[in-house]
Amino acid sequence: MAGIPGLLFLLFLLCAVVQVRPYGVHWKPTWPAYRLPVILPQSTHNLSKPDFVAEAKLEVSSTCGPQCHKGTPLPTYQEVKQYLSYETLYANGSRTETQVGIYILSNGGGGAQRQNSESSGRSRRKRQIYGYDSRFSIFGKDFLLNYPFSTSVKLSTGCTGTLVAEKHVLTAAHCIHDGKTYVKGTQKLRVGFLKPKFKDGGRGANSSNSAIPEKMKFQWIRVKRTHVPKGWIKGNANDIGMDYDYALLELKKPHKRKFMKIGVSPPTKQLPGGRIHFSGYDNDRPGNLVYRFCDIKDETYDLLYQQCDAQPGASGSGVYVRMWKRQQQKWERKIIGIFSGHQWVDVNGSPQDFNVAVRITPLKYAQICYWIKGNYLDCREG
């Protein structure tokens, strides 16, 4: 399929769904099947050691809202390649930059074929609460240590992350990189797991059924390396950058917990009730894991706009939904986005605010999955 014109490449980006059944009397919200691209490294070169001087930002703001994003021209193939190239930071402070190629598998699935490389192609202060605060603090080890809440972890920089594999955590890029350089503490980045707090080696006096919540503490694991897309590093939060506000962390050792798989974000109309869920460590409730759900108000190809109540610290949380998995005949939760931040948007001349999540598109799925698996053949099902 070499020599595919740029127009077909753009159509592929927008028309990746290949299996969606119509609604019926016994319809279940079902995970669609997608034609997934392949993203593979082409070249890697060393970069100088970074300065870890940026202040950690627990939220990202942007004035470019849904209509602004919808009016942005589609990227060319070369631009997409540039955005999906990535930077890797290692625990010893060294870093590399990797250029990628984008491929589409032939019908037989035997080999990846390259795309044509010549194709052309007012400030809200602190609160992000909408009316009545609808967040729920999760107490008691019987909840905190069980799926799906057990997949939420805390970053030492102050954000939230989600377990997506045995040694991998998905979070927001701005939690470790401000678009220009890495934030303070990233070289010794740690991920915290809530665990029961015992005294003198014994079990806590408060059981999970007690009226008084059992005290918990964080157990920390060091991060071995991080991946950040160049779309975040070369952009900024007021334009293309927010579309690429995601990062993957690889831990130095397995966490031994159940994790949540990533999935391609379906259109809002296919989600159960048009609703999303996520849990995070909001900084106005220190030490508490906070769960919320809400309806999606608008969407673009790369972003979900919603008004889930949230505070700084929740950014980086994995946004998930639960849908029917036809192949296995079971319900399954998947992460379809990463909570990024807050926006004031001019809607028909009047200010309106949203909280924003970055959607996992087919291209982003292919990239993140390859970071996790290291083999594109393991990334054929989104």
pLDDT at residue number 353: 76
Residue of higher predicted confidence among 244 and 215:
244
Q: What is the pLDDT of residues 253-272, one digit of tens each?
A: 999 999 999 999 999 999 99
Beta-bridge partners for 222: 190
Q: What is the pLDDT of residues 137-174, one digit of tens each?
A: 656 666 677 889 899 999 999 999 999 999 999 999 99
pLDDT at residue number 2: 40
Domain boundaries, the chain: 37-101+138-197+212-373
Rounded Cα distance between 101 and 114, Å, is: 7
Q: Active site includes 174?
A: yes
SS3 378: helix
pLDDT at residue number 127: 43
Q: Read off the tokens for 52.
A: 């870890």
Q: What is the pLDDT of residues 43-79, one digit of tens each?
A: 999 999 998 998 887 667 666 777 778 888 888 899 9
Residue of higher predicted confidence among 25 and 216:
216
* Mean pLDDT value of segment 227-246: 78
* Mean pLDDT value of segment 96-109: 81
CATH class of 37-101+138-197+212-373: mainly beta
Q: What is the pLDDT of residues 4-22, one digit of tens each?
A: 445 445 555 555 544 444 4
Q: Which of 104-113, 189-198, 246-255 has the lowest mean pLDDT?
A: 104-113
Q: What is the pLDDT of residues 302-322, one digit of tens each?
A: 999 988 888 888 999 999 999
pLDDT at residue number 65: 75
* Mean pLDDT value of segment 279-299: 90
Q: What percent of the chain has pLDDT over 90?
A: 51
Radius of gyration of the chain (CA): 21
pLDDT at residue number 211: 42
Residue of higher predicted confidence among 110 and 232:
232
Is pLDDT of 179 > 70? yes
pLDDT at residue number 286: 85
Residue of higher predicted confidence among 378 and 242:
378
Q: Active site includes 239?
A: yes
**Would you say the C-alpha torsion 8, 12, 15, 17 has a positive or negative sign?**
positive
Angle, helices 77-84 vs 6-14, to 10°: value is: 60
SS3 229: strand
Q: For 20-47, b where at least 16 C-beta lie within 10 A, e where not — what string?
A: eeeeeeeeeeebbbbebbbbeeeeeeee
The residues, any chain, with a CB within 8 Å of residue 113's CB and separated by 6 or more, are 1, 2, 103, 104, 105, 106
φ and ψ of 180, to 5 deg: -120, -40
User: Which one of 69, 168, 174, 227 is the catalytic residue?
Assistant: 174
pLDDT at residue number 110: 47
Task: Give the residue ranges of DSSP H helices in the chain.
Answer: 6-14, 66-70, 77-84, 141-144, 230-233, 362-373
Residue of higher predicted confidence among 75 and 132:
75
User: Which one of 208, 239, 346, 353 is the catalytic residue?
Assistant: 239
Is pLDDT of 116 > 80? no
Residue of higher predicted confidence among 70 and 126:
70
pLDDT at residue number 220: 97
Is pLDDT of 378 > 80? yes
Q: Active site includes 378?
A: no
Residue of higher predicted confidence among 309 and 345:
309
Q: What percent of the chain has pLDDT over 70?
A: 73
pLDDT at residue number 119: 36
Is pLDDT of 132 > 90? no
Query: Which residue shows structure tokens 């209509």?
Result: 67
User: Which one of 150, 315, 317, 340 is the catalytic residue?
Assistant: 315
Mean residue pLDDT across the chain? 81
